[in-house]
């Protein structure tokens, strides 16, 4: 009933409210009324996000097109993380290469969830070279899931730097404070509400083991004062 009403209501406010509500519905099959609105300059952003709950096979192609054309590229990448298949990978790789911080982050999130195992070297490279905390979060999340022992050295080095920055104040919201005042907590999926770059890196090192991981865990003895637990 809500989806049907989206196509009938006339005001921007009503359309926006209904489209936002659709994001909290169970998965729905017919996205026709929503698809008709993704080119609307007034509500297109919200319409694309409303497609995150659909199983309509027409939706993915429409969202990929929006990403490629740059029309609401950020919500398009966000939505592809939920409904995308490997058909979305070429457009996501382009967005990662050319997009700004928020778009790059969203495209990395989508790539990680769709085909992360086949692009782990890309995630590892960006993790070592990019300074954006949001971007790094998604890269280390991919390493946590798909990385190998050969990537452990770079992660251990980064985590050690995080601990040593005990006097540096950085933005933080939500999640457990693993190292006071210096862990940046990034927006991410609900399943990872309490993960930080630090905790994801620790999970990765614990999973892969090896010499670099062993040295890192032994080194934690030196940083008792910087760690809460």
Whether residue 66 contacts residue 107, with contact meaning beta carbons closer than 8 Å, is answered with no
**Res 113: pLDDT:** 96
pLDDT confidence band for 46 (50 / 70 / 90): very high
- pTM, full prediction: 0.84
Work out the pLDDT band at 228, boundaries 50, 70, 90.
low
- Condensed to tens digits (0 to 9), the pLDDT of residues 59-75 reads 999 999 999 999 899 99
Q: How much is the pLDDT for 166?
A: 56
* pLDDT above 50: residue 222: yes
174 pLDDT more than 90:
no
Higher pLDDT, 172 or 94: 94
Kindly tell me if the per-residue pLDDT of 176 is higher than 80: no
Q: Give the pLDDT mean for 204-208.
A: 96
Q: How confident is the model at residue 192 (pLDDT cuts 50, 70, 90)?
A: low
- Say what the pLDDT of residue 196 is: 87
For the cut 70, the answer to whether the pLDDT of residue 127 exceeds it is yes
As a whole number, mean pLDDT of residues 1-8 equals 88
pLDDT given for residue 96 in this prediction: 97
Mean pLDDT in residue range 40-50: 94
Give the range among 159-163, 178-182, 216-220 with minimum mean pLDDT.
178-182
**Is the confidence at residue 177, as pLDDT, over 80?**
no
Query: How large is the average pLDDT for residues 166-181?
Result: 39
């Amino acid at each position: 009933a809500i989806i049907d009403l989206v196509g009938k209501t006339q005001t921007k406010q009503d359309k926006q409210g209904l489209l936002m509500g659709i994001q909290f519905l169970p998965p729905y099959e017919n996205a026709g009324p929503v698809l008709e609105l993704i080119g609307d300059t007034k509500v297109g952003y919200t319409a694309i996000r409303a497609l995150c709950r659909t199983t309509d096979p027409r939706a993915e192609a429409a969202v990929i097109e929006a990403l490629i054309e740059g029309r609401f590229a950020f919500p398009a990448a966000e939505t592809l993380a939920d409904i995308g298949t490997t058909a979305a990978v070429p457009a996501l790789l382009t967005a990662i290469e050319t997009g700004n911080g928020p778009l790059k982050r969203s495209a990395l999130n989508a790539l990680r969830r769709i085909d992360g195992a086949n692009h782990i070297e890309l995630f590892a490279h960006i993790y070592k070279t990019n300074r954006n905390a949001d971007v790094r979060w998604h890269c280390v999340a991919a390493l946590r899931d798909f990385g190998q022992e050969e990537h452990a050295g770079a992660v251990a080095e980064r985590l050690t730097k995080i601990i040593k920055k005990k006097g540096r104040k950085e933005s933080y919201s939500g999640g457990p404070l693993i190292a006071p005042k210096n862990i940046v907590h990034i927006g991410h999926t609900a399943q990872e509400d309490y993960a930080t770059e630090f905790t994801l890196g620790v999970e990765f090192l614990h999973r892969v083991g090896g010499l670099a991981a062993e040295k890192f865990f032994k080194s934690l003895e030196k940083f008792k004062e910087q760690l809460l637990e």
